[in-house]
Amino acid sequence: HCISSGNSSSFEIVTINLQGFPKAGGPTVTKVKDLINRINPDVIALQEMASETDFNNLLEELNGWDGRFYPVVNSEWNLAYLFKTSEIEIDDSKTRLILSGDSYAFPRAPFEIFVSHKVLNISTYLINIHLKCCSGTDNETRRRDASEKLDNYIKPIRPSDPVIILGDYNDIISGESPSTNVFYNLVSASSEYLFTDMNNAKGSMLWWSYP
């Protein structure tokens, strides 16, 4: 009941980790299709797409949608995008992996695309990420390193372009110091970066996507 449906007068972008899609084969494809039709967003960034074949099966089940799958084979950790063709177009000359030579910071290289909303005439770069999981000093260091390298990539390469970094950050964003927040370099740069779900992060864990 808390899901609101998208419409052509707004630009809706969703991100979701589908955890080894399709977890239960065909029924999972059907469940995801039904969820997408109910939410009806414009763009969806996906993580943990284990099967390109089933990604294509999902596309076949969705009317009016197209997609882009991870351009490298990464076991079950592939990234992907879905987009509604009536409202969104992609400039494939700008579709690429970034920061792909650094598996320490990025075990899954970020997947960048450039999308335009046909109705609203809005364009933006999207960077789909899935950072290193789990607790522990080394894993936190890897996520902190990734945060710094994303910042170092965006500032010189996209100094005036709109950019949305979305996906699975695998850590909290609400810590108020560098020691409690591996993304503090981004969070503290409030004139440059906005975390749209910060209110959720600072609120009840019942509204967190995980756990």
What is the Cβ-side half-sphere exposure of residue 3, based on CA atoms within 13 angstroms?
Answer: 10
Distance, CA of 17 to CA of 129 (rounded, Å): 10
pLDDT, tens digit (0-9, with 9 covering 90-100), for 145-161: 999 999 999 999 999 99
Choose the weakest-confidence range: 6-10, 159-163, 172-176, 178-182. 6-10
Distance, CA of 81 to CA of 14 (rounded, Å): 10
Cβ atoms < 10 Å from Cβ of 90: 19
What is the average pLDDT score of the chain? 93
Backbone angles phi, psi at 199, to 5 degrees: -60, -40
**% of the chain at pLDDT higher than 70:** 95
Peptide bond before residue 110 is cis, with ω within 30 degrees of 0:
no
Q: Is the pLDDT of residue 4 over 90?
A: no
Would you state the pLDDT for residue 1? Answer: 46
- Closest of 164, 44, 181, 31 to residue 110, by C-alpha: 164
**% of the chain at pLDDT higher than 90:** 85
- Beta carbons of 207 and 201 less than 8 angstroms apart: no
Distance, CA of 55 to CA of 44 (rounded, Å): 13
DSSP state of 57: H
What b-and-e string marks burial along 11-25, b requiring 16 or more CB atoms within 10 Å of the CB?
bbbbbbbbeebbeee
Q: Is the pLDDT of residue 52 over 50?
A: yes
**Statement: the pTM of the whole predicted model exceeds 0.85:** yes
pLDDT, tens digit (0-9, with 9 covering 90-100), for 68-115: 999 998 888 999 999 999 999 999 999 999 999 899 999 999 999 999
Any idea how long the chain is?
A: 211
